[in-house]
């Protein structure tokens, strides 16, 4: 397929908007119902979606599921579903604005852990960017200023878990195809969350079932757009635009949930984003 960077950028921006909308719906539903139940229903639809996509790409379910590293693949799926539960819980504690601002640190955590986990070389420039980025995180969290809320550490835990998932995905990609990894992400995650979440079932109102249906659709459509994005453009060209999710999510938080963008959050998030973009640039330059 011919590279189309402009289309890829537009698809990435559309993807981040849909994911930000998904976060907003998750925040609403998790504020009314148990987080585990909300994530469980969302994962049922997600699992059906990934099975369909992976099967179409590999030709059959058996081919999509074929892997020589099942423990690693299942582990990836478990880490991701746990991360989603933690992040949705963070939305209920802190709201979208602050949770997403802290979560933007995950590329820096990936860079910091890529050395000890994957054996990748991390130079002093990237270590400097990582250090600066975490200064931004401290500005957002403000430990030692007034009464520090332990809840502020929840989205940081989510970012760390997502970084571990990203590193495990890189490791799995050395021997498995993208379709196979995608398959195991949905199936293992859905199985695990069902075993737990089914015990927290609560009756939902008809309007909230509508929101749940929209949550499932945004999840599937967002991942579909992301797949198309990487099909038409190189990751190095479109990945910086993934930070648009923070901008869209902040807008939803302010407009829909009446959240406030505090100055320290804005400054800290800007520092984290700048450090993340520099780290991504250095990684791509080193790869070339």
Quick check: 1 pLDDT over 60? Answer: no
Which structure tokens are listed for 268? 């800290």
DSSP string, the chain: ----HHHHHHHHHHHHHHHHHHHHHHHHHHHHS-HHHHHHHHHHHHHHHHHHHHHHHHSSHHHHH--S-HHHHHHHHHHHHHHHHHHHHHHHHH-HHHHHHHHTTHHHHHHHHHHHHH-----HHHHHHHHHHHHHHHHHH-TTSSS--GGGHHHHHHHHHHHHHHHHHHHHTTTS-HHHHHHHHHHHHHHHHHHHHGGG-----HHHHHHHHHHHHHHHHHHHHHHHHHHHS-HHHHGGGGGHHHHHHHHHHHHHH-----HHHHHHHHHHHHHHHHHHHHHHHHH-
List Cα–Cα distances, 188 to 26, 55, 78, 174, in angstroms.
21, 16, 7, 20
- State the pLDDT at residue 2: 59
**Most confident of the following: 48-62, 143-157, 236-250:** 48-62
- Cα separation of 264 and 266, whole Å? 5
Residue 201 confidence class, pLDDT cut points 50, 70, 90 = very high
Count CB neighbours of 181 within 10 A. Answer: 23
The pLDDT of residue 77 is above 50: yes
Q: Where are the domains of the chain?
A: 5-287
Output the pTM of the full model.
0.87
Per-residue pLDDT of 112-131, as tens digits, reads 877 776 666 767 677 787 78
């Amino acid at each position: 397929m011919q590279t189309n960077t402009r289309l890829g950028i537009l698809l990435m921006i559309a993807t981040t908007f849909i994911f930000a909308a998904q976060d907003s719906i998750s925040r609403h539903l998790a504020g009314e119902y148990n987080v585990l139940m909300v994530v469980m229903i969302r994962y049922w639809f997600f699992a059906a979606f990934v099975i369909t996509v992976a099967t179409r790409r590999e030709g059959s379910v058996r081919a999509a599921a074929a892997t020589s590293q099942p423990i690693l693949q299942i582990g990836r799926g478990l880490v991701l579903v746990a991360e989603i539960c933690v992040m949705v819980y963070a939305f209920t504690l802190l709201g979208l604005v602050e949770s997403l601002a802290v979560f933007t640190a995950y590329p820096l955590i990936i860079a910091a852990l890529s050395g000890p986990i994957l054996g990748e070389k991390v130079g002093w420039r990237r270590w400097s960017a990582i250090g600066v980025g975490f200064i931004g995180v401290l500005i957002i969290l403000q430990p030692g200023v007034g009464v520090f809320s332990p809840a502020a550490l929840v989205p940081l835990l989510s970012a760390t878990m997502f970084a571990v998932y990203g590193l495990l995905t890189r490791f799995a990609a050395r021997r498995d195809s993208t379709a196979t990894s995608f398959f195991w992400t949905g199936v293992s995650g859905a199985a695990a969350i069902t075993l737990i979440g089914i015990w927290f079932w609560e009756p939902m109102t008809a309007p909230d079932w509508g929101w749940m249906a929209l949550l499932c659709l945004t999840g599937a459509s967002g991942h579909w757009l992301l797949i198309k994005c990487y099909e038409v453009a190189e990751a190095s060209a479109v990945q910086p635009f993934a930070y648009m999710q923070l901008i869209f999510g902040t807008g939803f938080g302010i407009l829909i949930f009446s959240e406030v963008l505090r100055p320290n959050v804005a400054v800290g998030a800007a520092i984290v984003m700048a450090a993340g973009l520099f780290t991504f640039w250095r990684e791509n330059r080193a790869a070339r």
